[in-house]
Structure 1
Amino acid sequence: MMRRRSRPKPTIPEFKQTPGVVLQPRVHQSMQRGINKLVNAIRPTLGPRPRLVAIEKVGRDKPPELLDSGGTIARRVIDLPDADENIGAMYVRGLLWRLQEKVGDGTATAAVMFQEIFNRGLRYIAAGGNAMLLRNYLENGLRQAMEVLDDLQVPVEDRKLLNRVAHSVCYDPPLAESLAEIFDLVGEYGIVQVRSSRARDIEREYIEGSYWTGGLHSREMITDAANKRAQAENAALLISDLEFETFEQLEPALRLAVENGYPALVIMASKISDAVTGLLVTNQKAGRLQTFAVKTPTLRSDDQQAAMEDLAVLTGGRPFVKAAGDTLASLTPEALGQARRIWADMEYLGIVGGKGSPLERRDWIKKLSIAYHAAEEAEKRNKLCERVGRLYTGSAVLWLGGMTESEIEARKELTARTIQALRAALYHGVLPGGGAAFLACRQPLRQALSASDDPDEQAALRILLAALEAPFRTIVQNAGLNPAQALNQLEQAGPGATFDVTTGKVAFSADSGVLDIAEVARSALHSAVLGASLALTIDAFVHRHKPPVVTEPD
């Protein structure tokens, strides 16, 4: 009888490094190898006809993850086996991660420009150039290029252009058309929920008013059995995060609603006892006053506070906050919010036609909008965008289908990137796409180059000129075309022209839909130049004996 050999368990190689200090020329050489390894993995994803990158999953029996997003690819690379090369790769990874968090796209563009600047700058420094002077001149050239991008910006003012912008990001005509219609109706801050669908076609649904997470406290409060929700017309709203254990605690609100002739009262509370729930249901069935109770939106205290503030502005009430020691003993009619209609199911609370002051709402929206555009963290920015969207009282749900679950998830991720790009386009405008906007930035740099007699400045300008061509050349090459021939055709066509790699012909961006989001392009160029110029000044590595294990950049 043969004995069956047990299969050895797969092992994950341990990251090892020797503590110590690393100096030149090893610093530049190893850093360059690490940067090139990561950027070369991202480079094929740039453009409307990208190649895919396969990322091996932890389980060998699972299929690889196929990606065409530079930012996502960078996130998947945790470290390289060589500790010196790893520093270069993680430097770029952190830069691209922050760029994706800030604007949602542009990571592949930034990566190829970063690589061009770093590699050419390294050759100049190896030949005797001064890294600090080179950095200063690179940053001076950046300012000139950014001024050109500012002049090229075009506002997005109609649905047709919205469609072109969406298509330039997702390259999915049905998805682009759906998103263009949605944002044409709900605007820059409109809430767009993306959900999975069993149908293969894209479906969209528009929701009147605003809604928050936090539904009914009890199914017994449902009055519309068909839609599984409760609904009240011309209702008053008690906004609070209080806990009601006894009916006596809630009695001031009920008495006030009856005395002031409100046909319905909606009670918002973080907790309501079963006894109070039973009395509210009995009271409603008796026909005395239509009432139902909803949960205070969200779970985190700071998010709850923000939700209550927004509801107060929208409906004209004031929040009663448990942490502040508030009770209903001093409740007045002015403290209750009002709305044309309030509905709630077991998940959501909806407000239609809030009767708060339009002037106060406008000022509140302005304050939140300023905070949104100043926010650096993606999570904070997304929350502020949702808050503004709810105050504009318009939202949509986009249902996406596919053949497989992985296909649906990939489409949802692409949709999220496109939504973020559309918001940026509505606020900042668009530029000629396909790398054409960066090519337009070369003119003032060429003039500065011809007027300069400083070797370091001349080197910096030549490096920038090559970097500004890198996105265009990469896009064309990824499409299987000749970059030199395409660049020659584009330069002969004159100002305003772009190159459409899907047709292989020169086109004009306003008609072809070859567009870039202005803020994405600006941020990509800014990150690439500042990041690469700083990297060129690194002269030493210090390795720790036991480096901390992290997956996100600081």
Structure 2
Amino acid sequence: MAMRNQLLRRCVFWNGKIKANVRGYAAKDLRFGTEARAAMLTGVDLLADAVAVTMGPKGRNVIIEQSWGSPKITKDGVTVAKAVELKEKWQNVGARLVQDVANKTNEQAGDGTTCATVLARAIAREGFDSISKGANPIEIRKGVMMAVDVVIDNLKKISKPVTTPEEIAQVATISANGDVSIGNLISEAMKRVGKEGVITVKDGKTLNDEMEVIEGMKFDRGYISPYFINTTKGAKCEFQNCLILFSEKKINSVQEIVPVLELANQHRRPLLIIAEDVDGEALTTLVLNRLKVNLQVCAVKAPGFGDNRKNTLQDMAIASGGMVIGDEANLIKLEEVQLHNLGQVEEVLITKDDTLLLRGKGKKEEIARRIAQIKDEMEISNSEYEKEKMQERLSKLSNGVAVIKVGGSSEVEVNEKKDRVNDAMNATKAAVEEGIVPGGGVALLRCYSALDELKPSNEDQRRGIEIIRKAVRQPCMTIAKNAGVDSAQVVEKVLVRNEPTFGYDALRGEYVDMISSGIIDPTKVIRTALQDAAGVASLLSTAECVITEIPKEDKFPAGGMGGAGGMVESSIPMLISDGEEPLLFLTFHLSNCAVGVGILSLPFCFQQCGILLGTIVLLFCGVLTKIACRLLVLGCRVVDESNYENYAYRVFGRAGRLAVEISNISYLLGTLTAYFVILGNLTVSLVFKLLNYYSGQISTEILSWNPVAIFFSATVVITPLCLWATPRFMGHLSFVSLSSYAVLVLHVACTGLPKLFSEFTLMNVNWWRAEGIWIAFPVFTVALMCQPALFTVVGELSLRRFLSINKIITGAVNVCCSLYLLVRLLIFFLIHYSIDLFFLLTAIFGYVSYQDDVSGNILLSLKAGVFNELVEFAFLLSLAVSYPLLLYPCRHTVCSLLEHFNILSVNHFAQGNQLKNFRFRWLSITISIVFISAALASISPNVEYILELCGSLAGSSIGFILPAVLYLQVSSSKEIQRRIEATVCLLVGVCMFCSSVFDMLPVEENYSVEINKRIFTVSSVLPTATHFALNETDYIAI
């Protein structure tokens, strides 16, 4: 038998593998019979052991490690169950099935998850044991379900209704693990808002627990899509000072919701849409905007049906000061909605099951009039169903919502107590519904003798009944075991005393009357726990085959190089994990944003401050950029934003957002202008070389063609790329662009290497020139700066992955990884440790190769030749690709400045004009940026001056000062190291701003340049103009 199973597994395995290769399915692995059940039972035991330790008044805490933040300490069974994820897949199947038991019990009864887990383990274990001895699993399941029905009937007989506040407090106290203060608080809350009232739990701001009743409404409908979730504290959506759109009709058109989205965006307030339904392109637009531009919006279906839904919507609209759109009167259409038509509430809490609206802005007179109207309708109505629904509406309008604020001295303490308060609240509601039974596991023990009345049809059914007989002992035994006493002895003593309420008080260690001592459980909780546990565990026992997926082999194993400190392991594989091509494309995009025209000016920078000092400054700028990017990402995580403008708005309001917008536009526009300067220079140079009119010297005729080349490039190449390039197309172009940078580095290095160690070179190059540091420093920072484009390029990723991408991009120089980086040069050479190396090679060898005539664009120093011309042409293409990648964030910021801030899910890499009425605006902004930068380039031919201007003014602000100031404002005082980094970043940014402003002031000089044996005078601006190659005499004169 074992041989047959082994052969069958192999056949299915290979067959599955063929399917995986041919049809794209994942390969499967199979196990059968005893082997499969034993593996699953191991997983069930592991999960049940972790959950069972929390049971009873002397249950222990469980500490759960979290992927972020402090570890979580809890005694809540369902929280512990959800945290269990086993590495061995067969064991994990069993654990997941018991997790489903806990989750289902929690959803139905709100408590009892630990009891359900203990019962499920007991039933599964005994069931597996019986089946392994040859019993029929189907008949065993029948016996189990027969016994469960008898136990449930007996529970109903001994159940006692809950009527007094004292009994409610007792139920809540038991569910809160004996915390009397929580029990009394919940009892008081239920007394204030009624047994059918709404009670919610939130974090308090003091050390003590508090309760208040506020105006609010709750209904049983949650968010339509989980993508609306905006908080890491549970699967929920929270809004403050929220606008609400009430619609009686279904919304499926984008055109219908665009006006209200613009209205909410204009007033910088979140928007909740409550309608009959939201689907189609309307829902897609909302979800995309929530994910990509962090638009604070959520859609919820209206509660109820028919007339009840209409009345409920009207109640909510009156309570919040709004109106229902699309009713029979049809007074106003969705496209015509104004601010006064929307409801307003101070706080909204939305989960997958319900929605809570707190502190509506409705007028008290109108609310009172609505309450009187409902009361009059109740008196007239003859239908009990209608009266019940009217009473619910009346309760929501008049009683309000009880809010329990949980206090504590730390976040860990508050979270642990909140779990217990929620359990107690749910248990109390369950007790009100179906009554109470003796607690401590006694209620199930009192059903022990009732199983004797059953008459099974066969031996296997009798075994199923015996399984339940043993299982009902387990809750009491587990409570006694956690209290440190002999569990078997406690159970026997309780069973011998055949009194319905006699049991063991584990807290005080004595036998008492459970009801009079206040040790009680809700009947619904015990009933639901037994039903769910028996259903899943008995089905688990009937399983004969288990199928799991075979994990795919990792093409890029996460093993770092020896001595690399694990840096490669933690960063590189993540870029290409899960086979996601967009991550690879985004890597190329951001690389091109970081490497641009600045690379051509680095030899000039090394000329100004010397090779050694230049190397130090370049590495320092890399570290500084890394710090600034990390501060940006961490700050955005704190305020839950995903772009620079909204981040500043959340911290400093409109003034902060305006500062970011102006700085970003100034910096990016200046950089785009520098791109056009280089494009013009190289285009003219390349064309005249091909036409044999240019031999390395400049003429006025050549100079006059620069504006023509600039505007030709803007019209024919740049504008089409910016308007119609797709993400995948740009990804391939970026790859080619990076290859051209590599060719440039190799070419410059080969040119400079023979000169580097020559006696003349070593004696004449600048090694340390401190007076030139303030000229070179802004250009260094611009060459490494990716902060302005950071959010735009990786904005399509989640924040955690975004943080990892940012960490990779802004990594420090790591010489140990150079060999690994060379192996993957075409993919990963533009992360910062290689950017610094990349720039360093270009700068040093470029300076050494052309030290006599170095200029802002070293390509102009190349001699005529086929290979040199190919290098220039390749670099022209790379600049054309890089331009759109910097235009996208600039356009994004311009849209933000013009109050049209991406509410239409604009893709930053492709056409954002999904809607016709926004197409003209999108096109006009794009074309304006292109031709403004082209016009500036035609009148400002000095690329070093432009880069210095960008770096010292806008660059220092957007790249260093603002990230530091924003982070210092939002971060906790406990983040000492990060706040020190922010302070250093701020000081360096301010020094760079002030010193560079003075140093970049224009100085007029006259140069005599010999061209074609004729002398003419040119007035230009220092530093050296990009158009002129100076001889050694001219350089010394300067």
Report the TM-score when normalising by structure 1.
0.69
**Aligned residue number for residue 540 of structure 2:** 535
For residues 164 and 502 of structure 2, the distance between their equivalents in structure 1, rounded to whole angstroms, comes to: 21
SS at match of 2:33: coil
For residues 271 and 83 of structure 1, the distance between their equivalents in structure 2, rounded to whole angstroms, comes to: 46
Verify the 8 A CA contact 1:203 1:398 in the aligned structure 2: yes
Verify the 8 A CA contact 1:270 1:296 in the aligned structure 2: no
Q: CA deviation at 1:357?
A: 2.7
Q: 1:124–1:367: structure 2 CA closer, same or farther, 3 Å change rule?
A: farther
**Aligned residue number for residue 12 of structure 1:** none
Verify the 8 A CA contact 1:320 1:326 in the aligned structure 2: no
**Aligned residue number for residue 288 of structure 1:** none
Q: 1:359–1:146: structure 2 CA closer, same or farther, 3 Å change rule?
A: farther
Q: 1:94–1:367: structure 2 CA closer, same or farther, 3 Å change rule?
A: farther
Cα RMSD for the two superposed structures = 3.9
Q: CA deviation at 1:481?
A: 1.5
Q: 1:199–1:386: structure 2 CA closer, same or farther, 3 Å change rule?
A: farther
Verify the 8 A CA contact 2:314 2:323 in the aligned structure 1: no
**Aligned residue number for residue 174 of structure 1:** 181
**Aligned residue number for residue 6 of structure 1:** none
- Asked if 1:187 is matched to 2:194, the reply is yes
Q: CA deviation at 1:105?
A: 1.3
Q: CA deviation at 1:455?
A: 1.8
Verify the 8 A CA contact 1:100 1:107 in the aligned structure 2: yes
For residues 436 and 397 of structure 2, the distance between their equivalents in structure 1, rounded to whole angstroms, comes to: 26
**Aligned residue number for residue 331 of structure 2:** 328
**Aligned residue number for residue 282 of structure 2:** none
Q: 1:30–1:190: structure 2 CA closer, same or farther, 3 Å change rule?
A: same
Correspondence 1:251-400 to 2 at 5 A: 300=298, 302-303=300-301, 309-310=311-312, 312=314, 321-323=324-326, 326-328=329-331, 348-349=360-361, 353=368, 354-358=371-375, 360=377, 390-391=396-397, 393-400=399-406
Q: CA deviation at 1:210?
A: 4.7
**Aligned residue number for residue 100 of structure 2:** 94
Q: CA deviation at 1:522?
A: 0.3
- Asked if 1:434 is matched to 2:440, the reply is yes
**Aligned residue number for residue 145 of structure 1:** 151
Q: 1:76–1:365: structure 2 CA closer, same or farther, 3 Å change rule?
A: farther
Q: CA deviation at 1:149?
A: 0.7
Which one of the candidate residues 471, 479, 482 is aligned to 1:478? 482
Q: CA deviation at 1:526?
A: 0.4
For residues 508 and 483 of structure 2, the distance between their equivalents in structure 1, rounded to whole angstroms, comes to: 10
Verify the 8 A CA contact 1:434 1:499 in the aligned structure 2: yes
Q: CA deviation at 1:100?
A: 1.4
Q: 1:434–1:272: structure 2 CA closer, same or farther, 3 Å change rule?
A: same
Q: 1:483–1:414: structure 2 CA closer, same or farther, 3 Å change rule?
A: same
Correspondence 1:400-479 to 2 at 5 A: 400-448=406-454, 454-479=458-483
Deviations 1:48-85 (A, max 9, x none): 111122222236xx65322211111111123x221211
More strand by share: 1
Q: 1:30–1:18: structure 2 CA closer, same or farther, 3 Å change rule?
A: farther
Verify the 8 A CA contact 2:246 2:323 in the aligned structure 1: yes
Q: CA deviation at 1:485?
A: 2.5
SS at match of 1:511: coil
Verify the 8 A CA contact 2:199 2:404 in the aligned structure 1: yes
Verify the 8 A CA contact 1:109 1:524 in the aligned structure 2: yes
For residues 502 and 468 of structure 1, the distance between their equivalents in structure 2, rounded to whole angstroms, comes to: 21
- Asked if 1:520 is matched to 2:506, the reply is no
For residues 201 and 26 of structure 1, the distance between their equivalents in structure 2, rounded to whole angstroms, comes to: 53
Specify the code of the residue in structure 2 equivalent to 1:447: E
Specify the code of the residue in structure 2 equivalent to 1:459: R
Q: 1:389–1:91: structure 2 CA closer, same or farther, 3 Å change rule?
A: farther
Gap runs ≥5 in structure 2: 1-25, 220-240, 249-258, 275-296, 333-342, 348-358, 553-577, 579-1038
Deviations 1:82-113 (A, max 9, x none): 12112111111122122212222111111111
Q: 1:41–1:315: structure 2 CA closer, same or farther, 3 Å change rule?
A: closer
- Asked if 1:131 is matched to 2:131, the reply is no
SS at match of 1:512: coil
For residues 218 and 101 of structure 2, the distance between their equivalents in structure 1, rounded to whole angstroms, comes to: 34
**Aligned residue number for residue 378 of structure 1:** none
Specify the code of the residue in structure 2 equivalent to 1:70: G
For residues 50 and 126 of structure 2, the distance between their equivalents in structure 1, rounded to whole angstroms, comes to: 19
For residues 323 and 138 of structure 1, the distance between their equivalents in structure 2, rounded to whole angstroms, comes to: 54
Q: 1:84–1:177: structure 2 CA closer, same or farther, 3 Å change rule?
A: same
Specify the code of the residue in structure 1 equivalent to 2:138: M
SS at match of 2:311: helix
SS at match of 1:135: helix
Deviations 1:529-554 (A, max 9, x none): 1111111100001223469x9xxxxx
Q: CA deviation at 1:118?
A: 1.2
For residues 386 and 412 of structure 1, the distance between their equivalents in structure 2, rounded to whole angstroms, comes to: 27
**Aligned residue number for residue 332 of structure 1:** none
Verify the 8 A CA contact 2:173 2:180 in the aligned structure 1: yes
Deviations 1:405-453 (A, max 9, x none): 22122222321222121111111111111101100111121333xx658
Q: 1:387–1:309: structure 2 CA closer, same or farther, 3 Å change rule?
A: same
For residues 90 and 516 of structure 1, the distance between their equivalents in structure 2, rounded to whole angstroms, comes to: 27
Which one of the candidate residues 100, 103, 126 is aligned to 1:120? 126
Report the TM-score when normalising by structure 2.
0.38
Gap runs ≥5 in structure 1: 1-16, 214-228, 230-238, 243-268, 278-294, 330-341, 371-384, 550-554
For residues 273 and 170 of structure 2, the distance between their equivalents in structure 1, rounded to whole angstroms, comes to: 37
- Asked if 1:23 is matched to 2:14, the reply is no
Q: 1:29–1:304: structure 2 CA closer, same or farther, 3 Å change rule?
A: closer
For residues 425 and 109 of structure 2, the distance between their equivalents in structure 1, rounded to whole angstroms, comes to: 11
SS at match of 1:47: coil
For residues 388 and 79 of structure 2, the distance between their equivalents in structure 1, rounded to whole angstroms, comes to: 28
Verify the 8 A CA contact 1:369 1:388 in the aligned structure 2: no
Residue identity (%): 24
For residues 212 and 87 of structure 1, the distance between their equivalents in structure 2, rounded to whole angstroms, comes to: 37
Q: CA deviation at 1:18?
A: 6.8
Verify the 8 A CA contact 2:119 2:471 in the aligned structure 1: yes
Verify the 8 A CA contact 2:217 2:400 in the aligned structure 1: no
Q: 1:457–1:403: structure 2 CA closer, same or farther, 3 Å change rule?
A: same
Verify the 8 A CA contact 1:191 1:386 in the aligned structure 2: no
Q: 1:74–1:517: structure 2 CA closer, same or farther, 3 Å change rule?
A: same
- Asked if 1:82 is matched to 2:88, the reply is yes
Q: Is 156-165 or 189-198 further displaced after alignment? A: 189-198
Which one of the candidate residues 72, 94, 102 is aligned to 1:65? 72
Specify the code of the residue in structure 2 equivalent to 1:349: K
**Aligned residue number for residue 55 of structure 1:** 64
Q: 1:18–1:345: structure 2 CA closer, same or farther, 3 Å change rule?
A: closer
For residues 394 and 475 of structure 2, the distance between their equivalents in structure 1, rounded to whole angstroms, comes to: 35
Q: 1:452–1:412: structure 2 CA closer, same or farther, 3 Å change rule?
A: closer
**Aligned residue number for residue 111 of structure 1:** 117
